[in-house]
Structure 1
Amino acid sequence: MELYISRNGAKISKVKESFRVKSDEQEYILSSEKIKSIILESECSLTSGVIRLAFEKDIPIIITDIYGNIMGQFYKSNGTKNGKLKKEQYKFFSSDNGMEIAKEWVIEKILNQKIHLEKLLKRRKKSTEALSIFNNYFKKIEENKGNTDKNRDMIMGFEGITSRIYFRTISEIMEKKWKFEKREHQNAKEPYNIVLNYMFGILYRKLETLLLQEGFDTTVGILHTEGNNKLPLLYDFIEKYRILALEGVFDLFNSKEIKDSFFEGETSKKLTTEGKYVISSYFNNIFSSGREYRGKKYIIDDIIKFELKKLKNVILEVQI
């Protein structure tokens, strides 16, 4: 579970092998064995004992903004142990082999979007013929060879086109009151985008934590390169798993779990504490649910760890 602090004024201290959380409203103690991460969204205080215990138990302490986006995090450093991985990562990601892996991630994202739309359209007895255009972009990306700026831009352009088709179709399917004009990222005003951005924030911090724990340098990517992007590898790798948030946000709206009371503000809307709780609880349940992987059932957290270990093995085995 995540220890999530969203109210100002909370104080976190260490009690033996547990964390004590105290606020004006309540006080409770949680065993460190049950905590996977500590999320700090609001103004709060914590003791050095909390930080030490978190390091001992490999629990990252993550600071986010009110939208769930990571601003920074503390985690146990394994710099010496992972030095070789980082060295080989830099070489591999700049090679044609690295680009082939990034292409697989993008194709998987597009395929997942197509499958999701097919399922929704068939359920509503609507034609799926227009979705055949996705196949054209699979082929274009597969045919795109070489790790060059030109090819990188082309791949991201194809991905952008399919995403616009996906979101346009989703808006058409949704209940009238929740339809949206376009996909908004920062400063979103429409409920669908606000909820999706918050869910993506949760997904980003989960994946960033796992990438760092495995020893990857998240500042070096393949398709997303260095520059204004802060965490290129995170933006690359998340493509495989965006469908978790895309399906999750649609299901929340479709099952009428999202309420008007989840949003506050006039021109600049944001989620209430109640809304954040419902959304984060739902998404965490998705991560703890079982999915089939290599013929067996695993929770999604474990599947992502398997995939990262596989990527690590590929990088270390391929000599550039």
Structure 2
Amino acid sequence: MNLTISERGTFLSLRSERLQLRIPGKETQEVALRDLETVIVTTSACTLSAEAIRACAKFGVQIDLLDSLGAHYAKFSSPYLVGTVSTRRAQMQAYLTPRGIEVARHAIRARLRNQASLLKYFGKYRKEADPAAYAAIGRAIPALTALEAELDTHQAQCIDDLRDVLLGIEGRGGVVYWGAVAAILAADLAFPGRLGRGATDPTNMTLNYGYGILYARTAGVLATAGLEPFAGFLHTDRPGKPSLVLDFVEGFRAACVDRPVLAMLGRGWRPKLDEHGKLDLETRKRIVAAVHDRMDTRDMVGGKRFRLQNIMVMQARRLAGFLREEGNYPVYVASW
């Protein structure tokens, strides 16, 4: 399970092998460390005891801190969970070889396929109910498939020689996908298209917050697999930019965040803002719960059903093995 701390004034301490949450004016809660996977802190007004942090490290529970926009700014975890060396060496070497290009292609391929899968999911019952949205989805899916086919027509020896071309394909895919999403969304949302940080419309603000949760989880998954989250292939290196996280999440954005967010908005839920123009506490709690619930759902991989967050772990390990030249790195596509 995942523990989210969002209430101001929360104090997190250790009692035996349980985390204890004391919130002013509320009943004290306790959670067994053995049942936890992550702790996510979304408020700046809380206190974590050193004992609680140490216990989380011992049990392999990572603590992620997010700001009010969903940006992941800090992580507590044991350095011994990521003490491998061979995978990181292989990751750095792959950057200069065609293997690095394959990782970049994989990121875009996974993104395009999962975007198409999600559009199929939302289009299942719209043929009669919303013909215009159904038609937009019908145009988008073959366009995304054509862009995926284009990925394999470009060759090079190093990702630096091909990055701009691949990013161009990714960008065109984004225009197609978000154009179809705009047709799905209600008119009152006034969706302007996909916008990142600084967005002020409710859809993008909600998506950005959800992506922040996904980034935090992905950074931990990659590090535990022995990978360096800041050394990517498709996304360029920059101080403070977790480029491998950004590469890896391309295959999980649609399944883990877009699906629950678009579903909530489609059912009439609307995010609320506080006096500073940011998502209010209840809205942020709702987004966190929706993303966590989605990641707890099960999907098929290799004929077996796994929780979505466990599929992320599997994919990270497969990526690590691929970089070490010890196995394949198949694309995961969420069911629709």
Query: Fold conserved (TM > 0.5)?
Result: yes
Does the CA-based 8 Å contact 1:172-1:179 persist in structure 2? no
1:117 & 1:172 partners in 2: Cα distance?
11
Match of 1:246 among 252, 258, 264: 258
Alignment of structure 1 residues 22-37 onto 2, 5 Å = 22-26=22-26, 27-37=28-38
CA change 1:150–1:176 in 2 (3 A) is same
Match in the other structure for 1:273: 281
Deviations 1:209-262 (A, max 9, x none): 111112211111111121256111001111111112122211111122x235x3
2:207 & 2:6 partners in 1: Cα distance?
19
For residue 177 of structure 1, report the CA deviation from its aligned partner: 0.9
Q: Is it true that 1:45 corresponds to 2:47 in the alignment?
A: yes
Counterpart code for 1:24: P
1:143 & 1:190 partners in 2: Cα distance?
37
Match of 1:263 among 273, 283, 288: 273
2:22 & 2:260 partners in 1: Cα distance?
32
For residue 160 of structure 1, report the CA deviation from its aligned partner: 0.9
Match of 1:311 among 298, 303, 319: 319
Any idea what SS the aligned residue of 1:143 has? coil
CA change 1:80–1:189 in 2 (3 A) is closer
Which shifted more, 110-119 or 49-58? 110-119
Alignment of structure 1 residues 89-100 onto 2, 5 Å = 89-100=91-102
Match in the other structure for 1:195: 206
Any idea what SS the aligned residue of 1:3 has? strand
Match of 1:138 among 143, 148, 159: 148
2:29 & 2:216 partners in 1: Cα distance?
25
Counterpart code for 1:142: D
Match in the other structure for 2:56: 54
Deviations 1:31-76 (A, max 9, x none): 1122211222222212211111011101112121112221011111
Match in the other structure for 2:113: 111
Does the CA-based 8 Å contact 1:86-1:217 persist in structure 2? yes
Does the CA-based 8 Å contact 1:9-1:23 persist in structure 2? yes
1:205 & 1:129 partners in 2: Cα distance?
34
CA change 1:39–1:129 in 2 (3 A) is closer
Mark the runs of 5 or more structure 2 residues left unpaired by the alignment.
Answer: 128-133, 327-336
Match in the other structure for 2:290: 282
2:286 & 2:71 partners in 1: Cα distance?
17
Does the CA-based 8 Å contact 2:12-2:22 persist in structure 1? yes
Match in the other structure for 1:296: 304
Counterpart code for 2:37: K
Match in the other structure for 1:154: 165
Length, aligned pairs only: 315
1:86 & 1:108 partners in 2: Cα distance?
23
Counterpart code for 2:320: K
Which shifted more, 143-152 or 61-70? 143-152
CA RMSD, 1 decimal: 2.0
For residue 173 of structure 1, report the CA deviation from its aligned partner: 2.0
1:160 & 1:8 partners in 2: Cα distance?
39
Match of 1:123 among 102, 122, 125: 125
Match in the other structure for 2:331: none
For residue 165 of structure 1, report the CA deviation from its aligned partner: 1.9
Any idea what SS the aligned residue of 1:223 has? coil
1:55 & 1:180 partners in 2: Cα distance?
42
Mark the runs of 5 or more structure 1 residues left unpaired by the alignment.
Answer: none
Does the CA-based 8 Å contact 1:292-1:298 persist in structure 2? yes
1:117 & 1:143 partners in 2: Cα distance?
25
Deviations 1:91-125 (A, max 9, x none): 02331012112202211211221233344345322
Any idea what SS the aligned residue of 2:152 has? helix
**Which protein, 1 or 2, shows the higher relative CO under an 8 Å CA cutoff with sep ≥ 6?**
2
Any idea what SS the aligned residue of 1:63 has? strand
CA change 1:188–1:227 in 2 (3 A) is same
2:283 & 2:307 partners in 1: Cα distance?
25
Counterpart code for 1:185: G
TM-score (norm 1): 0.92
TM-score (norm 2): 0.87
Any idea what SS the aligned residue of 1:38 has? strand
